[in-house]
Amino acid sequence: MRVLRVLFQIGFTKSRKKNQSISAYINGEKINWENGKGVFLTNHKDRVYRNTIWFMYESDLEKEDILKLEVKTFLPGIGQDDEKTFDVLYYADEDVPVRSIDFNGVGKKGYPVLKGRFLEISSVSKEDERKASVEEFLNEEF
């Protein structure tokens, strides 16, 4: 079985404009930059003074390994940004071309959030959940 190289961003930013984090899980196990290989996308000054850490993590996956990205975005004084708070699932597949995924307003600007050979299983934002809940409520029997 072939090993597949995958790159993905993990980290967070806390500012007056927005608080955001990206967490990653491979087959249910949470990934931490302290025990992996990759590069920091933010410099030391950003990490210390701006409370921002973005790390491009490199991982070797086997075919059909599951990668979950969990994105949480909050706007200070307003609350959760439902459109930029979501979970997305991918599985590694050596038979597909290399893809580069970038979500608008998510992660370190100018870098992909995810790059590698994978297929999307599902993506559900908090806004999608809210709309489904409203639809279910409206379709209840009277």
Distance (Å) of CA 82 to CA 1, 59, 90, 100: 39, 29, 21, 23
Quick one: tokens of 80? 């959760």
Encode pLDDT of 51-105 as tens digits: 999 999 999 998 889 999 999 999 999 999 988 999 999 999 999 999 999 998 9
Structural domain boundaries enclosing 12: 3-138
pLDDT for res 58:
93
pLDDT for res 137:
84
Structural domain count, the chain: 1
In this prediction, residues 5-33 reach a mean pLDDT of: 92
Compute the Cα dihedral for 88, 4, 42, 35 and give only its sign: positive
pLDDT for res 55:
94
Cβ distance 14 to 51 under 8 Å?
Answer: yes
In this prediction, residues 95-122 reach a mean pLDDT of: 92
Distance CA 69, CA 65 (A): 13
Closest by Cα among 105, 127, 131 to 22: 105
